Structure 1
Amino acid sequence: MDKAQLETLKTRALALWKRHGRETPVPGLFVASADVPTGPIHGVYRPSVCIVLQGTKISQLGGQAYRYEEGNCLITSLEVPIRAHILDASAHAPYVAFVLDIEPAVVSELLVELARGEPIAAAGPAAMSVHPLANGLIDPLERLLALADRPRDIPVLAPLIRREIYWHLLNGPQGAMMRQIGLADSRTARIGRSIAWVRDNYTETISVPHLAGLAGMSPATFHRHFKAATDMTPVQFQKSLRLQEARRLLLAECTDVAQVGFAIGYESPSQFSREYRRMFGAPPGRDGAAIRRTVAPDNHA
């Protein structure tokens, strides 16, 4: 890996962070920086690639932890609830990273060029994976970051550079995972349809046969592939989404704990408080007051 180019990426990302904060002028491109390690930060990751330019972060999905550091990229193929920690960060050497959303429709278009009539290798569903950053990606990534300073160029050039980045990812060690994102009938895409239903109906009672039908699988096959992709059962996945939404409501100054529990689908306030404490380490009232004083949820990077 070219250290000088990586340093240039870091300099550009830090400059964007200082000027714009997390959201850059380039659609779907986000940056992050932290000068101290963080405790557990909860959030939801979308299909994306996160590139760490300095420091170290761990993202946990279910019982699986993914560690990525300078020169690594984290690929996320599904919309999943995570718990993350920034491990290495200081005022002298801050954590620096940026995230680019992955658009499945664009990946699908590129798969046509990639296949050229040849069968595309199958791969099992996986929500996240970590890979070294390939040298071929550094140049288009640098050009994408540089676009933030040229707003007139963004509508024309950003989609082209994004396609170039996806192309390199498809042809790199993470190619099998990228293909799963772009294939409409892949196991990942089918699991993604069930996840979208859970996300949009998280207050409803889970029906595994219904979710399996959305994915076009038998209940037993669906349960196996869902667990393989997310390291959670569908019920555990829904519970994580519910409790993260509860935390968001508490962060938004809603201090009636029972009301929050009912709003996210719990019928028993005591069960809500018990499961909230198990996930976040403190009862909802106390945790809500603490997070309003400290940190917002993790939005990736």
Structure 2
Amino acid sequence: MTVMADRQGERKATLLQTYREELVERIGQAINFDGSVQPLHGLHLYRHSVPLERVYSVVDPSVCVVAQGSKEFLLGESRYRYDPFHYLLSTVDLPNIGQVLEASKERPFLSLRLSLDPGLVSSVMLEAGYAPSRKPVGVRAIDVSLLDSNLLEATVRLTRLLGSPSEASVLLPLITREIVYRLLMGEQGVRLRHLATLGEGSSPIARAVERLRQDFDRPLRVEQLAREIGMSVSGFHQHFKAVTALSPLQFQKRLRLQEARRLMLSEDLDAASAAYRVGYQDASHFNREYKSLFGVPPMRDMQRLREATKVSAD
């Protein structure tokens, strides 16, 4: 029995390594330049030949799988690192900080991100015999888990569709559905079930996140928002931070500052104009909070980013 178990373990390890090598090959063929592409609906591919400085963004509900290299997400005081042996699952639109840690020209960072539709998750849940919880659940909206063979194999089959649009039109929904099922049956099944609850709009935290994203440039009145979603102020703070790792005020501040940064970089706005556009009335207050998040004042940050963009283009 021991010999048989050892052989089965060896075969499984060999199969996993074969899947990982195929994933590297297929993503590498699909994107042969540094950056990102979306070759299929909801599927994003990434390639980087050097480690990256921190990137500030808002990530939507999705599962992220690394084929080669490693990456880290920072959310609040928590760090989530994932690599070819781990996947990252996010179930709420979250302002986060991402950083590619391992990458080189010889072994570029290669990864994929598959967006997860709450409606699809709900449908798979019902077929699997689960019902979304109607109670507020303080489940952190992001985490990392081991990438098991079933989920890895389904992910590889997803990348096999990259060179075949006709097959993708038929098989993409089926494989996506299988990936959702594998996630539901895995370590993060509770977190994924939470996504279905959020997607239905029955979760007060989901409504609060949506409201903050829509009205991030308006003054935040926590008491009024808590009242609108039917929670006490203390309960709202507790559940919101449990899910997002940020307080409502921190969440809004991240959204404001990241949008201001985008406006200055893409629309060439000065700091004062960008600050006003995202809801700041005091430019000096904006500059202090900007430096606190990004490490440098706005104009110096813009100079650094534009120089980096120019060097990359050259």
Q: Normalization by structure 2: what TM-score? A: 0.87
Residue 139 of structure 2: aligned partner: 125
Helix, strand or coil at the partner of 1:125 = coil
2:192 to 157, 178, 201: 178
Unaligned runs of 5+ in 1: 297-301
Aligned mates of 1:145, 1:178 — CA distance in 2: 22
Matched, 1:5 2:22: no
Residue 274 of structure 2: aligned partner: 260
Unaligned runs of 5+ in 2: 1-12
Matched, 1:67 2:84: no
Aligned mates of 1:119, 1:202 — CA distance in 2: 28
Aligned mates of 2:197, 2:183 — CA distance in 1: 15
Amino acid of the structure 2 residue aligned with 1:17: I
Aligned mates of 1:174, 1:3 — CA distance in 2: 23
Residue 204 of structure 1: aligned partner: 218
Helix, strand or coil at the partner of 2:219 = coil
Structure 1, residues 90-130: CA drift from partner, whole Å, max 9, x if none?
Answer: 12222111100011000001111222689899963212100
Structure with the higher helix share, 1 or 2: 2
Amino acid of the structure 1 residue aligned with 2:155: L
Residue 191 of structure 1: aligned partner: 205
Amino acid of the structure 1 residue aligned with 2:148: A
Aligned mates of 1:147, 1:12 — CA distance in 2: 10
Q: Structure 2 vs 1, CA of residues 75 and 116 (structure 1 numbering), >3 Å: closer, same or farther?
A: closer
Taking CA–CA contacts closer than 8 Å with sequence separation of 6 or more, which of the two structures ends up with the larger relative contact order?
1
Identity value in percent: 35
Aligned mates of 1:56, 1:93 — CA distance in 2: 11
Say if 1:188 and 1:229, in contact at 8 Å, map to a contact too: no
Q: Structure 2 vs 1, CA of residues 44 and 242 (structure 1 numbering), >3 Å: closer, same or farther?
A: same
Residue 299 of structure 1: aligned partner: none
Aligned mates of 2:159, 2:202 — CA distance in 1: 29
Aligned mates of 2:309, 2:95 — CA distance in 1: 17
Matched, 1:109 2:123: yes
Matched, 1:35 2:26: no
Amino acid of the structure 2 residue aligned with 1:33: R
2:243 to 224, 229, 247: 229
2:290 to 276, 294, 297: 276
Residue 30 of structure 2: aligned partner: 16
Q: Tell me the number of residue pairs that the alignment of Structure 1 and Structure 2 aligns.
A: 296
Aligned mates of 1:121, 1:14 — CA distance in 2: 43
RMSD across aligned positions (CA): 2.5
Structure 1, residues 227-278: CA drift from partner, whole Å, max 9, x if none?
Answer: 1112211001100100000110111142421111111100001111111111
Q: Structure 2 vs 1, CA of residues 239 and 197 (structure 1 numbering), >3 Å: closer, same or farther?
A: same
Residue 89 of structure 1: aligned partner: 103
Structure 1, residues 20-60: CA drift from partner, whole Å, max 9, x if none?
Answer: 96223210101111121111111111100001111111110
